[in-house]
Amino acid sequence: MPIRFPKPHLRKIGYSLDDVLPGFFEEFRDALMPEDGEPLLSMARYMPGSLLKDSDQYPGEAALVGLVRSGLLKRFESSVCAFAKTLERLVATHDAFLEGLDRGKVFTADEIDEWRQTDSDEAIEDLLESSRAESTANYRIEELREYVANDRSLLDKLRARATKVQRKDDPKLKALVDSALKPILKQAKREAADEADFRRKRKVIIFSYFSDTVDWIFEYLKERFDSDLTLRTYRGRLVALRGDTATSDDIATGSVSREEAVFRFAPESSEAPEGYTDDFDVLVTTDVLAEGMNLQDCRNVINYDLPWNPMRLVQRHGRVDRLGSRHLDVYIGCFFPDARLEALLELETRIRRKVAKAAATVGIEHEVIPGAATSERVFTETREEIEKLRRENTDLFEKSGEPAGAQSGEAYRQELRKGLEQFGDAIRELPGGAGSGMRGPRAGHFFCARVGERVYMRFVPAGLVDSNDPLIERDSLNCLRAIACTEKSERLMSAAIRASAYGAWQLARRDIYEKWMVYTDPVNLQPKVKASMKRAAAAVRKYPPAGATQEVVDKLANTLEAPWGVRIEAQIRGAMGDTVNAAAAVRIAETVRRLKLQPFEVPEPLPVIGLEEVGLVCWMGVEGERPASC
């Protein structure tokens, strides 16, 4: 077989957000984040600290509210089902919060989630006994109750409208079939050399960020495959995957494991064991299959949600664009709500700006929304990529998601090795704090600094005056990209860039110092464990796997009680299911083993230092690019 990668082709799939719910977007936008004025949704249930008697600001909670607003927006665009179910859950948690107020307690988000999961009178009594929730005596309680009750009413109103939409009336689902699956099937019939080739060419992976959307798509496709004669080839060959379990539209197949679904969808590339046959043509899945899987039997990928994170699309595309593919071409479909695309992106931009402002105010170290800490730049780049995708530009996939001139960490290391081989003595003889200048895409200053043996990089865009400014770039690769150059690059430095270097260094130095000092406090090193991971740990303690020693059980529980990211948490939550019992504990333990997770070890606190101990290694002043001539 020739060693080659298939050529990617991008297909835009358009649909209208307004066909089923006319006027709903404006109502939703005003509730979430209007262009002018304050949102109708206060989100007070998520930021009760703003109504403490001795304070009227709580920016840490305000930053977290951004995640809720952004999540609602993405579910709204994904599917009316995901949106409605999320609203239903939010209404339930608001009811829980209000009942807590009636009992004299202000519950945290984790505690409300725990209560909602158990949904029993005993659970609320246990929470009242053991809760870390504060007494309502510390709050302006009537104001808090009024805000939460108003939010609850508004959320329920939105939910009521959204739940009226039926699958058969959803224009996005119709576009999936009529503008994507039918053309795929028609092309496969036209191009196939034989029956086996026809099976490979008609295979489709449909990705969504949300399991509720996966269910929505699955039920609709099952009905269409049964009723539409032009789709009869797909009948009985549909499977939907969420977490570790999958559901087929074949009555004889029913529920299968994730592993079995993959083996029966892509038996060749997944190297399925003997006995597995090619049974599935359409695989609907969350991003549980976005990384690490060999699925190149398939040549079609459909991204059902707007590509808010273009790099996620690259990872999905990588499942079929692999060495060993029999396909010369692979096809990526992306959904775009054309008439509302700009409005959706503007709404997300406003949310990110508010999050960045709140995070900067309180000095939050991590990003609440990925990219939010540098929203003006990062989301601008994301919007540019989204526009390219809408124009069916395939650069994102052909360059593996790297912008022009960008390199991976290993590529930079290779460049450094070559530089040391050629100019090693000259580099080693440079004095500490040496600097130079160049022309680049972003005006500002790059700094490489050292504290003891630790190396830090910062890029300070021109014009900043605050060391807490979220636009300071802290990611090493992004800092290096800001000064990417070659031996032929123009070296220059204006008087303005030279003069402003000193102030920029003080901002970078102060930022590095403050981030270092955060980790001198052991309290800041403790992991923040999500409620679902705590429940999973409690499950394996209550129902230890058969034959497991106490040491093994403790290790398993400690592994779960760790600050895992969203992807890991989603898989553990999917394995656990809705009912905590012995079977759930076995699934949780198997998921931990499969993912090769290890217990979290709290790092040692850093030693306290003085600002002067942040030493400058070298720096680079960057002149902005010349404006293009008219």
How confident is the model over 404-459, as pLDDT tens digits?
Answer: 344 555 567 767 877 888 888 888 889 999 999 998 878 999 999 999 989 999 99
* Nearest-angstrom CA–CA distance, 267 and 247: 18
pLDDT of residue 366: 41
pLDDT of residue 298: 93
Assign 449 to helix, strand or coil: strand
Q: What is the tally of structural domains in the chain?
A: 4
Q: Is residue 194 part of a domain?
A: yes
Q: Is residue 73 part of a domain?
A: yes
514 & 532 share domain? no
Per-residue model confidence as pLDDT tens digits over 361-380? 544 444 444 444 444 455 66
* Nearest-angstrom CA–CA distance, 490 and 230: 61
* Nearest-angstrom CA–CA distance, 393 and 400: 13
Determine the structural domain holding residue 247 and report its residue range: 7-13+168-336
132 & 187 share domain? no
285 & 241 share domain? yes
Name the residue with tokens 């600290």: 49
483 & 539 share domain? no
Instruction: Write out the H or E segment, with its range, that includes residue 71.
Output: helix 59-78
Residue 128 confidence (pLDDT) above 50: no
**DSSP codes joined into one string, 562-621:** S---HHHHHHHHHHH-SS-SHHHHHHHHHHHHHHT-----PPPPPPP--GGGSEEEEEEE
Tell me the pLDDT band of 547, cut-offs 50, 70 and 90. Answer: confident
Per-residue model confidence as pLDDT tens digits over 480-508? 888 988 777 888 888 989 999 999 999 99
Q: Is residue 419 part of a domain?
A: no
181 & 52 share domain? no
Residue 291: Cβ within 10 Å count = 12
Mean pLDDT for all residues in the chain: 83
Note the residue count of the chain: 630
Q: Is residue 629 part of a domain?
A: no
* Nearest-angstrom CA–CA distance, 279 and 348: 40
The mean per-residue pLDDT over the stretch 129-152 comes to 82
pLDDT of residue 419: 83
CA pseudo-torsion sign 215, 220, 226, 230: negative
17's tokens: 């957000």
278 & 230 share domain? yes
123 & 256 share domain? no
Q: Which of 22-36, 255-269, 347-361, 572-586 has the lowest mean pLDDT?
A: 347-361
Percent of the chain predicted with pLDDT > 90: 41
Number of H helices, E strands in the chain: 22, 14
Q: Is residue 603 part of a domain?
A: no
213 & 159 share domain? no
114 & 206 share domain? no
179 & 155 share domain? no
Q: Between vectors from CA 59 to CA 611 and to CA 69, what angle results, nearest 5°?
A: 130
